[in-house]
Structure 1
Amino acid sequence: MSAFLRYEQDDHVVTLTMDEPERRNPLTGNSAVSDFIEAIKRIENDPSVRAVILTGAGSAFSSGGNIKDMERQSSGDVSGIQIRQEYRQGIQRLAHALFNLEVPVIAAVNGAALGAGLDLACMCDIRIASVNAKFAESFAKIGIVPGDGGAWLLQRTIGLSRAAEMTFTAQVIDAQLALEWNLVSRVVPPEELLPTARNLALKIAANPPHAVRLAKRLMREAIHARLDTVLELSAAYQALSHQTVDHREAVAAFLEKREPVFKG
């Protein structure tokens, strides 16, 4: 579909593969952001898609920002106002679109996820890592800050203290420590990464899609909303859910002791 992002659909599962392995799948200085936005819109408008897997081609998941592009930004030839707009109209659009996509997204982290690459993984709902994966909130090493939402995303993923440690030191952690810190939920051998992600995606896709999408929206809202607000929203979503064909099918299948057939 694009120069950077491969879009492949098998039944109800879409696999998005960042496909610039020779450059370690950078997210700036190329078409990455526009390709992601296009893919996310396509997924949002396709009710047949029930789960998404995001991974990288080659040895890296994503190396984050393109250093050559940073060289241009630090040259003095580009104003601060222009750089601000580049972030707002660039990678920050990706953060907003991917984080708010209602279809569940599994990051299959095959290798290095550095800087914006780590933050990209944190925009996803579930992270599975190869034993070869490594992670770093590496912005401080090159004298910049997380410009893509990482300061918000990472602490909500692993907690404030560990997020601060990763951000302030910019040190690399391996897959095992990422598992201990709840940055990822599983660590598997490289050859099992995509099969494990697909098996999980199929388990998600087996459920009524409206229920999964609304549950994800509730979880997103619960991050920053008060309990009474989330309860009110839950009641509204539940009222919609009770009236769906898939809910009626689930109830009937349970009472009839058979497997349900969900049609979305």
Structure 2
Amino acid sequence: MIEVDAPIETEWLTEYVACVRYDRPDAMNAYNEALLRGAVEAFETLDDREDVRAIVLTGAGDAFCAGVDLTDMPLTPEMDFAEYEAGLGLFQNVVRTLRGISTPVIAAVNGYALGAGCDTALACDFRITSDEGVIGETFIDVGFVPGDGGAFLLPRLIGEARAKELIFTGRKLSGEEIVEWDLAREQVAADELLDAAVAFGSELADRPPVALAESKRLVNESFDTELDDALADATRAQRICSQTRDHEEAVAAFQEDREPEFEGR
């Protein structure tokens, strides 16, 4: 589908739903520099395509992403601060990209999503887990903090106290627990995971893309703005949507009692 110079595979799942698959199964899809840079490139490239309306992110083999590859790590304690900041920035750029692109992203958590892999899953718009999925903010186990955005994202998803419990203890959640803690919309059998992600991705892909993108942006920014600013921003977003052909099509379809066919413009 697209080619990136990284251990990543991309493919079409449906007409408008694309898949990004981390492809380092022997390393449990743990991040090295090539995977970090390739992930950002893949997400940005797909986001630029008009024929991609939803993205499914998953991992090859038995893991989603088991964090950082300690044998091939792009940062070390010996680095000066500027180098260390740049190295950690590679991880943070994955989270920043997932939050910033217009296309909704569904994490299909097929196994371990730990440390930086957990933060990647949290940065996606939705998570679906298999009965083999495991999510954990395991930074504390190696004397680290969630350096990739987990301390920002997790409280927004499950509240401060629950987030602190997972971050402070390094507790791993598995299977149905992930849903019970509101970290996934559903849990399915391992052999049904991709189908479930495709089904939900197709549901999103059927919605008007401009309105969906603006809605994602408004929600993502809502925790860091005042109400009056949020309302003003919503007015600007609504104005943009009101001038799209998709809005015109939606009104026409309603009046003609038929399903709309959205074009993304």
Q: Where does residue 193 of structure 1 map in the other structure?
A: 193
Question: Which residues of structure 1 form unaligned runs of 5+?
Answer: none
Helix, strand or coil: the match of 1:54? strand
Task: Tell me, in whole angstroms, the C-alpha distance in 1 between the residues paired with 2:73 and 2:91.
Answer: 13
Question: Which residues of structure 2 form unaligned runs of 5+?
Answer: none
Q: Where does residue 109 of structure 1 map in the other structure?
A: 109
The two structures have a TM-score, normalised by structure 1, of 0.94
Q: Where does residue 39 of structure 2 map in the other structure?
A: 36
Helix, strand or coil: the match of 1:47? coil
- 1:217 shift after superposition: 0.9
Partner amino acid, structure 2, of 1:79: D
1:59 paired to 2:62: yes
Task: Tell me, in whole angstroms, the C-alpha distance in 1 between the residues paired with 2:84 and 2:225.
Answer: 32
The CA deviation string for residues 78-113 of structure 1, in whole angstroms up to 9 with x for no partner, is 33442222112x111112111111110000000011
- 1:72 shift after superposition: 7.1
The CA deviation string for residues 221-241 of structure 1, in whole angstroms up to 9 with x for no partner, is 112111111111111111121
Q: CA RMSD in A?
A: 1.5
Q: Which moved more, 1:51-60 or 1:237-246?
A: 237-246
Q: How does 1:49-198 map to 2 (within 5 A)?
A: 49-69=52-72, 73-74=76-77, 76=78, 78-88=79-89, 90-198=90-198
The two structures have a TM-score, normalised by structure 2, of 0.94
Partner amino acid, structure 2, of 1:15: C
- 1:156 shift after superposition: 1.2
Task: Tell me, in whole angstroms, the C-alpha distance in 1 between the residues paired with 2:198 and 2:26.
Answer: 25
Helix, strand or coil: the match of 1:67? coil
Q: Where does residue 260 of structure 2 map in the other structure?
A: 260
Task: Tell me, in whole angstroms, the C-alpha distance in 2 between the residues paired with 1:71 and 1:211.
Answer: 38
Aligned length, in residue pairs: 260
1:19 paired to 2:23: yes
Q: Is the 8 A contact 2:132 2:190 kept in 1?
A: yes
Q: Which moved more, 1:34-43 or 1:102-111?
A: 34-43
Say if 1:153 and 1:4 are closer, same or farther in 2 by CA, change over 3 A. same
Task: Tell me, in whole angstroms, the C-alpha distance in 1 between the residues paired with 2:148 and 2:130.
Answer: 24
- 1:71 shift after superposition: 10
Q: Is the 8 A contact 2:21 2:57 kept in 1?
A: yes
